[in-house]
Structure 1
Amino acid sequence: MSNLAIAQTEIEIAGVQEFLGKEIPVIEGGFGEGEKVVLAKTIAEIHGVRPNDIQSLINENIDEFEEGIDILDLKNSTDSIGSLLELGFTKQSIANSKNIYILSEQGYFTLVSLMRTEKAKELRKKFRREYFAMRKQIKEHKPSCIEDVLISSLQEMKAIKQQLNRATHHALSAKAEVKEIREIVQLDTTSWRSETQTLIAKIAINQGGFEHINLLKSESYELLNKRFGVKLDTRLTNKRRRMAEEGVSKSKRDRLNYLDVIEEDKKLIEGYVAIVKDMAIKYGISKN
């Protein structure tokens, strides 16, 4: 078991897991304690494409990913080559790589949603069931095979569903429920970026899956443009141009997204937070 210190939490290489006849690393952390993550290199292996193709797809659509929530660049987040070697990279591949990405579950679904193929659709569902959906195994009672893990996960989901059904009988009136939702989705200005993106992910799940994230993000930005009479794309272009004039590297400029533009204007922050709250109420996000 190895540890790699990056971002807010450590990455833990917990072992390997068989998927489609391949042994892939089981990695946790980076975006939050115990959260499963996946290497872009592993995604390439699963989908039968070159790692460079996955890296190019990410870089060409970098605006779709929120750094620290959807994606992390290990190449630019750690100085330890040894840690990257433990993840299966060679010294040559590390030296030749501009970026070495890991993705959260939300980031993985954002990436796969950009891959418009039937195979991507099939693998998206399968990978969620057999990788991200599995709970961390308790060492003292470690299941002997993936079927045991899936059965355990389904049983846990069934128990949660039963609890939710019981809770329904004690639900408040519609007016009180709306009031509760408003309280739940209150966001503060210090953590608005991560909390709004997390809330959008919850809305996506409520709508059927993480593949809805990009549409929901687009909806939130369009509403902000209309309500405040702004053009986020123009502001983003101008911000990148200013940074270029200041000598900021192209890779850093490319990582900018609409949230970076919103962050510069307090009124836009307040407006965007209000819009995401309204979307949560519109799409029926509740405390449970």
Structure 2
Amino acid sequence: MVSLDNFQYSTGDEVNPSKEVRRLNQLQVFNFNNAQVRTIEKEGQPWFVLKDVADVLEIGHVPALRQRLSDDVVSNYPIHDSLGRQQETTIINEDGLYDVILESRKPEARAFRKWITSEVLPTIRKTGSYTADKPKSQAELLLMYAQGFVEMEQRVERMESTVTAIQETFTKRDEDWRNQLNGMINGAAYRAGMSYRDLRNESYRLLEERGHCDLNARLRNLKTRLQDSGATKTQIDGANKMDVIESDPKLKEIYTNIVKELAIGSLSGR
């Protein structure tokens, strides 16, 4: 094993069982804590088998997980199983991988993400694939590590920009909009003989139905991003579904219309 600080490059002479890498036909397979994750290079970019990533992160019901991901991060790919049969398998690109990691509540999710970003992806980008061949020189290895580190920093900067936009939701909340909707829900609930909580939950249900979204999943993702960005515990604990809705202009518009409809419906039902 050739080692340089925290970077390890397999020479094929020995294998770390938690990070084993091997080839299987067109697939490149590695193990993270004894869990198999198959990867594919497609158009020069790494893709990951969704089921394998979900298994590592203990996320159940893969079809539902697939529905929560946007189409631009998901694809299908023909893979041969152990019996030689070709089957269409759902794969996700790098952005999709981060989306799935953010959905996991498993403590190891952070370690998995760090390993992917600091070791696996830099190796794929610089060599085009996982390899068991030893670099020709230590200088080559240094160059690979430096280039990977630069790309990693650039990705972190992009992620920090996203997080900054999320945090601004807390400092620039549209209180007028929220107060207006809260007033309409309060009035509608009173006229309909319902509790405020029940009508609020019904409005969220309608939003998920019309907006094709999972508010609970988005809220978990929001809290994870806030935690990763160093937000205070008060900010993280205070994040709610209204923050999720307001941060997405499309959801905000749909939700506003839903609340108006509920308010009008309560008037007509008097």
Same fold at TM > 0.5: no
Name the larger-Rg structure: 2
Q: Which protein has the bigger strand share? A: 2
Normalised TM-score (structure 1):
0.39
